[in-house]
Amino acid sequence: CQHRDFWAVLLHFRGSPCAFSTAAQQRSTGDECGPEEPSEEPKHPLSDCALEHKAIKLEEQVRDLTERYRKALADSENVRRRTQKFVEDAKLFGIQSFCRDLVEVADILEKTAESAAGQAGPSDPNPTLKKIYEGLSLIEAKLQSVFAKHGLQKMNPVGGRYDPYDHEIICHVPAEGMQPGTVALVTQDGYKLHGRTIRHALVGVAVEAQDRRLRK
């Protein structure tokens, strides 16, 4: 009876080979997997108060950086404008010293023309002096035209108010038919280059004749 039971079990396993394979796989799987590692505990999220505080700090940093950026941008714009103004002034007033020398030549030419005009009067029939005077007048007119072309202009202060930025007082004269404080005469012409005074006009200013010494 025992022999019959043994052969019955053997035939059962021979008819079902998957039983051995399943058992082997279970043993192999159990060996490979080993003990499971403990999973990490979930981190505790920040509280609402901490998040709000952090957001406020970030907003302050953003505002600070934005303000710094605006200041830096404004400073760079100011530097650019100053540099541009410096370059423009250098172009306009680079000939300032040269113009100062030229106006002295214009003074000599004007005085020479006036002297020639005094000698070549109607009573003097000398045609040579007349031609010299006409030539000097043409040169003077051309020189003033060149001056104006380059922004150099002669002042005409007679009758105008005294301006310390444009005029230099060398004397006072009685205000005969003129308002006190106005320019009565000019002994040396003043010049401006693009609106900037490069030589002051030497003038006499009218004052009220209260002192007899003013009339002498």
Does the CA dihedral 200-204-205-211 come out positive or negative? positive
Most confident option among 89-93, 123-127, 205-209: 205-209
| 140-192 pLDDT per residue, tens | 999 999 999 999 999 999 999 999 999 999 999 887 888 889 999 999 999 99
Q: Is the pLDDT of residue 78 over 90?
A: yes
Paired strand residues for 192: 153, 197
The phi, psi pair for 190, rounded to 5°, reads -100, 160
- What is the structure's pLDDT at 3? 47
Structural tokens at position 197: 């005074």
Amino acid residing at 98: F
Q: Is the pLDDT of residue 13 over 90?
A: no
- What is the structure's pLDDT at 155? 93
| 23-73 pLDDT per residue, tens | 444 444 444 444 455 455 545 556 778 888 888 889 999 999 999 999 999
- What is the structure's pLDDT at 161? 93
% of the chain beyond a pLDDT of 90: 39
Structural tokens at position 142: 């051309």
